[in-house]
């Protein structure tokens, strides 16, 4: 399963990406395998020296009755210490944030999250992105 944050590339300039593991409970991984995840409004933040994925929504698994998880709880991201230090130094710059770009299941069966250090786009940058996208689509239509 591959879940993509479609708003990320439109809303932000993606500067640097990292692939991290994520700490989940059993019912969460089952919901992710079914594709019942929303990461469009989520972001990452530091709590002490640990990085957490905040505001991501993983729907409750319908077959786990009393042992179900909380859908919007913060989830710890698993990165190496030097990667965490590098990210922490970079986001101390003004205007940078950490956002999840996509979530996927690896070959080994583990859930991975691709996070990116990003800078917010201004309105005119978004208009240019739309203009370029329309131009490219028109070129593709006229080639055939």
Superfamily of the domain at 2-143: Small protein B (2.40.280.10)
- In this predicted structure, what is the pLDDT of residue 66? 72
Going by C-alpha positions, the residue among 7, 9, 15, 2 that lies closest to residue 91 is 15
The predicted structure's pLDDT at residue 9: 84
pLDDT along the chain (144 residues), means of 10: 85 91 88 88 91 91 76 91 92 87 92 92 85 89 75
Q: What is the CA radius of gyration of the chain?
A: 17
What pLDDT sits at residue 10?
84
* Predicted local distance difference test score (pLDDT) of residue 29: 86
Question: What's the whole-model pTM score?
Answer: 0.82
Residue 144 is predicted with a pLDDT of 60
């Amino acid at each position: 399963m591959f879940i993509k944050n479609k708003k990320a590339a439109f809303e932000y300039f993606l500067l640097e990406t990292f692939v991290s593991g994520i700490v989940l409970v059993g019912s969460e991984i089952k919901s992710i395998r079914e594709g019942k995840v929303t990461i469009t409004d989520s972001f990452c933040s530091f709590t002490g020296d640990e990085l957490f994925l905040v505001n991501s929504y993983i729907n409750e698994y319908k077959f786990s009755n009393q042992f179900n998880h909380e859908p919007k709880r913060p989830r710890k991201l698993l990165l190496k210490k030097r990667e965490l230090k590098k990210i922490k130094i970079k986001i101390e710059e003004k205007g940078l944030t950490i956002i999840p770009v996509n979530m996927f299941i690896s070959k080994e069966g583990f859930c991975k999250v691709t996070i990116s250090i990003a800078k917010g786009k201004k309105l005119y940058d978004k208009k240019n992105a739309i203009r370029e996208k329309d131009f490219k689509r028109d070129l593709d239509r006229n080639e055939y």
